[in-house]
Structure 1
């Protein structure tokens, strides 16, 4: 369960490699509320465990020096878990590091307005992973954004068949437990 929680938590913080896709416009504002729409990974997460996972909105705010504070909650098996982490700014406008540089995060705008793709790579418990997340400004499903995400997932070498669309949850909002 810890690995699943870490996978979802850290996976919310990802985007695609800058060499392959357009970089974030330095003027693009990623602060505010975002909703996780879909996720894909190079690792298989058992379907049985995914059925008990719901996600609520996440909040991103800019800190002094350009770092980003990310707060989100996840409902796993009826238990609300709150996570807060800092994305440390690098010299690239779309690249951040987490946990002292042990993990890398890219934030890339989607071809669909008000959507971004987070691509995260690193190690958890000694195992390498790559994960992509589609996030949007509202909780409503957007087929065009999902199709764009599928194309990006394939281009990045992840399995498009592994795409998971989580349940949106209002029962685990930020600040409640």
Structure 2
């Protein structure tokens, strides 16, 4: 369960880091605020673990260009709160977590207010690759989902493993 929890939380965090919120160019978008997880895909399944639902996540820009993400997820009937700090790198849209063990990339979707988070690295001794589709609202957008499928397929992830989680507004940590 820790591996799934970590993978889900890292993926959510990574999704929001593609743009540097402190960047000053006109094309840069402030990614701070509320985001919704629309779809998830991973290169390997996690036996006995089921992502049931997710709350909106909050992304906060920190000093130095780092980002903090806060969310709660319901897995196997257990609600867990996640707080993660993403460390900015010299490469735009690339962040590190867990002392550099996980590399995350944020890819802007051509669909307005949607991003794809792609991350890879080591989680509890296991190599993982995962992508997540994030959006500013709860509405399912077929065009954004199709773009997500193209991007993830190009990175070698199997489309048969796509999960579309249920959105919930609140989840109390430790509750089930």
TM-score by length of 1: 0.86
- 1:37 and 2:38 correspond: yes
Q: Does the residue aligned with 1:73 lie in a helix, a strand or coil?
A: strand
Task: Provide the residue aligned with 1:19 in structure 2.
Answer: none
Q: What SS class does the counterpart of residue 13 from structure 2 fall into?
A: coil
Specify the SS of the correspondent of 2:121: strand
Moved over 6 A (4+): none
Q: Given the alignment of the two structures, is residue 109 of structure 1 paired with residue 105 of structure 2, yes or no?
A: no
- Paired position in structure 1 for 2:165: 166
Shift of 1:96: 0.5
Tell me if structure 1 keeps the 8 A contact 2:119–2:131.
yes
- 2:141 aligned partner: 142
Quick one: distance in 1 between partners of 2:125 and 2:77? 28
TM-superposed deviation, 1:129: 0.7
1:11 CA displacement = 2.2
> Is residue 96 from structure 1 mapped to residue 119 from structure 2 by the alignment?
no
Paired residues of 1:72 and 1:83 also in contact (CA < 8 A): yes
Q: By how many angstroms is 1:127 displaced?
A: 1.2
**5+ residue gaps in structure 1?**
16-22
What runs of 5+ residues in structure 2 fail to find an aligned partner? none
Q: Distance in 2 between matches of 1:176 and 1:62?
A: 27
State the secondary structure of the residue aligned to 2:55. Answer: strand
